[in-house]
Every structure is written in structure tokens, then in C-alpha cells.
């Protein structure tokens, strides 16, 4: 009986220290018209791909996976489905930065040879990501991405967290729901030495906060239980119209992002705008516990359902780590093929 082996082609990238594995070949066409429909199918019928690439021995839960799929929108040059330890976020800043960089660097989207700015449109499950790539000396120097608008869903919430006491937070949508927490109120300054303690606190908080918390988006429907907690450090001036702040995002279960996270930064901007703490055209530079930085810029107001929302952009850069082919042995007892085999393409001659 022949071995049941499949091959996945990956481009591994990192942005702000967060690793994104871009799956560019080896997967069958995913059913669905829109990228959102394809993501819902994968979540429901093919979650084995996410588990495979984010679990030992093939990967690590701190990574992300982005599957390149056909877009449905005529403006989009490619679609991408985002997979993380928490599941299937509908949008992600760091994953968008990594995906755009990988597609341009590999030639899947032709890179203009002349130095300057290049526009790219990708379709995420949440909708279009409008991207400006800065090209310098034949490489992608930075990516600025505008995804769906963020909005403050609920303010002034609190929950009693075992061993930590009462925690006050605000709930903000930015590609997923974020619980926004004042880090200093719980003794955190947000640095590398605090990552284990932040992870423990984030885990206890999310488990306590999830019951009864909003899981609906007015346009996207049920988006699942709370996946993220964003710890906000103090804001300080860094120049005219430019602020900066230490920031950390906890991803449930058990991950502190290496980057300050793009959607976490967008959520922070929406909350600050709601409070009158930042204006159109202003920028907030968020700094992760490991010192990496993203810049979020306020564009202007929007509406999502009945919510007042905020358009913003996130600017960061990504670096290529590896081009690889992964062999998936479906007979390996460490590989759960039950919801994986039908997703993987069979190579000619296999």
C-alpha cells in the first residue's frame, strides 16, 4: 500500500517578531464564493490544516498561518485565510503585512521594478485590505494596510478574575473582539521580563470574561468567543501629532504576540478617538514587549451597523525567513487526517 504523503509549499515570514506561514500551494480549492465563506468552510470542515501547521512537530502555537485562496472581489489580487491558535480571525494587521510582502517578494503579485509606492488589494475574510507597499532597491521595505473599520462595542465592563480580583476593560472590534485593559492598573509596564506573567493574567482574564460577552458583529454575524486581550501602557508624546505607547496582545490560549499587533493598535486608536484622545491624521506608535513597533494612523470616521467606527492604517515591515516544502505523512500517528486529507492536494504520480 503506497504511503499517503502530501506536500505543502510555504513562505515563512515575520513582522515585528510574529511568524506567519504563507501557504502558497498544496491545498485543494476551498469551497465558497467569498473568502469569508471559504474561511467558514475551512473552520467547519478542514480545521486539520490549522492544527497541523500550528502544532508540534510541524509548527508552534505562537505562529500564524495564511492560506492563499482565490478572491471574489474584482479589485482583489489574491485572497487569504488567517489561522491562529485562537481560530480564524477575520482580519490581522501583521498577517496582512506578511502576506503582502510574501506575494510581492515571490512574484505572485508582480513587483514594480522602480523604487516607490505600489498599491495592492487583498481580500481577507472581513473584506478588502487596501495596501500600499514601499518598494526600495527591489525589496518590500514597508507595508501600510487599511482593513475594516474598528469600533468600540461596550465600555466600562468589569469581571472578577480568580487570583487577580476585579478587572475593568472595554470591548473593541478590530478584526476580532479585543478586551482593552490598562496595564499599569495591574502592575505591568509591558517589557520582555513580564511576558510569562502577562500570559498567565491574560489566560485567567479571558476564561473569566468570556461567559455572556458579546460574540456578534452587525455585518459578519457570530464571530465566536473573546480571543484577545490588549494591554495598554501609558501614552507619551513622540513629536507633533505622533504618540507612542507600550502595548501587548494576549492570544487565547497561551500566546503573547511578539509584535504590538496591527488590529490591537487599530482597536487602541478607536478607543482613544472615542475618548477624544487622538484626532484625524494623528499617529500612535505601539511598542511590543520585545521592542518591535507598528505605527497606526487615524484616517476618519465610519459606521458599522449602529456603531460609530474609525478608519485607520497600520504600517510595519516583514522579513522573509524561508521558502520550504513540508511533507505531510497522513499515516503518521501524530497527524490527525480526519479533517485534513480532503483539504490537501494530491500531487501527480502520488
Residue 204 phi/psi, 5° resolution?
Answer: -65, -40
Place of cell 494591554: 231
Find the Cα–Cα–Cα–Cα dihedral 286, 290, 291, 292, rounded to 10°: -70
92 in catalytic set = yes
Identify the helix (H) or strand (E) that includes residue 206: helix 195-209
For the beta carbon of residue 114, count every other beta carbon within 10 angstroms: 8
Cα angle value 161/163/164 (rounded, 5°):
55
* Cα 346 to Cα 41, 274, 337, distances in angstroms: 20, 51, 14
In 3D, which of 60, 65, 69, 22 has the Cα closest to residue 47?
65
Task: Identify the bridge partners of residue 161 per DSSP, sorted by sequence position.
Answer: 165
CB of 263 closer than 8 Å to CB of 92: yes
DSSP designation for 185: G
32 DSSP β-pair partners: none
CB 247 within 8 A of CB 232: yes
The C-alpha cell at 61 is 502555537
Active-site entry in 92, 105, 259, 317:
92
What's the grid cell of residue 281?
491624521
**CA Rg value for the chain:** 20
Neighbours of 209 (CB within 10 A): 22
Q: Which positions are catalytic?
A: 92
Amino acid at each position: 500500500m503506497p504511503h499517503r504523503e502530501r506536500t505543502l509549499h510555504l513562505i515563512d515570514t515575520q513582522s515585528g517578531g510574529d511568524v506567519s506561514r504563507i501557504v502558497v500551494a498544496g491545498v485543494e480549492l476551498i469551497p465558497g464564493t467569498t473568502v469569508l465563506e471559504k474561511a467558514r468552510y475551512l473552520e467547519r470542515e478542514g480545521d486539520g490544516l490549522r492544527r497541523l501547521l500550528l502544532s508540534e512537530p510541524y509548527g508552534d502555537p505562537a505562529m500564524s498561518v495564511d492560506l492563499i485562496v482565490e478572491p471574489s472581489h474584482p479589485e482583489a489580487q489574491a485572497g487569504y485565510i488567517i489561522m491562529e491558535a485562537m481560530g480564524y480571525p477575520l482580519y490581522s494587521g501583521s498577517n496582512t503585512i506578511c502576506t503582502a510582502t510574501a506575494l510581492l517578494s515571490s512574484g505572485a503579485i508582480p513587483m514594480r521594478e522602480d523604487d516607490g509606492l505600489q498599491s495592492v488589494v487583498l481580500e481577507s475574510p472581513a473584506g478588502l485590505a487596501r495596501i500600499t507597499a514601499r518598494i526600495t532597491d527591489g525589496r518590500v521595505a514597508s507595508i501600510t494596510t487599511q482593513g475594516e473599520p474598528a469600533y468600540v462595542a461596550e465600555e466600562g465592563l468589569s469581571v472578577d478574575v480568580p487570583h487577580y480580583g476585579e478587572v475593568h476593560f472595554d470591548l473593541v472590534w478590530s478584526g476580532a473582539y479585543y478586551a482593552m485593559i490598562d496595564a499599569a492598573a495591574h502592575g505591568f509596564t509591558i517589557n520582555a521580563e513580564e511576558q510569562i506573567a502577562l500570559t498567565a493574567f491574560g489566560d485567567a482574564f479571558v476564561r473569566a470574561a468570556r461567559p455572556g460577552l458579546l460574540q456578534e458583529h452587525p455585518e459578519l454575524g457570530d464571530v465566536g468567543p473573546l480571543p484577545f486581550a490588549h494591554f495598554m501602557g501609558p501614552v507619551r508624546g513622540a513629536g507633533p501629532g505622533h504618540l507612542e505607547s507600550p502595548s501587548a496582545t494576549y492570544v487565547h490560549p497561551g500566546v503573547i504576540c511578539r509584535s504590538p499587533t496591527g488590529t490591537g493598535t487599530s482597536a487602541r486608536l478607536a478607543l482613544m478617538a472615542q475618548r477624544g484622545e487622538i484626532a484625524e491624521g494623528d499617529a500612535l506608535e505601539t511598542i511590543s514587549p520585545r521592542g518591535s513597533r507598528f505605527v497606526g494612523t487615524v484616517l476618519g470616521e465610519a459606521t458599522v451597523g449602529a456603531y460609530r467606527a474609525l478608519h485607520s492604517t497600520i504600517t510595519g515591515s516583514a522579513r522573509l525567513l524561508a521558502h520550504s516544502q513540508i511533507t505531510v505523512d497522513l499515516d503518521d500517528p501524530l497527524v490527525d487526517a480526519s479533517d485534513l486529507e480532503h483539504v490537501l492536494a494530491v500531487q501527480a504520480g502520488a
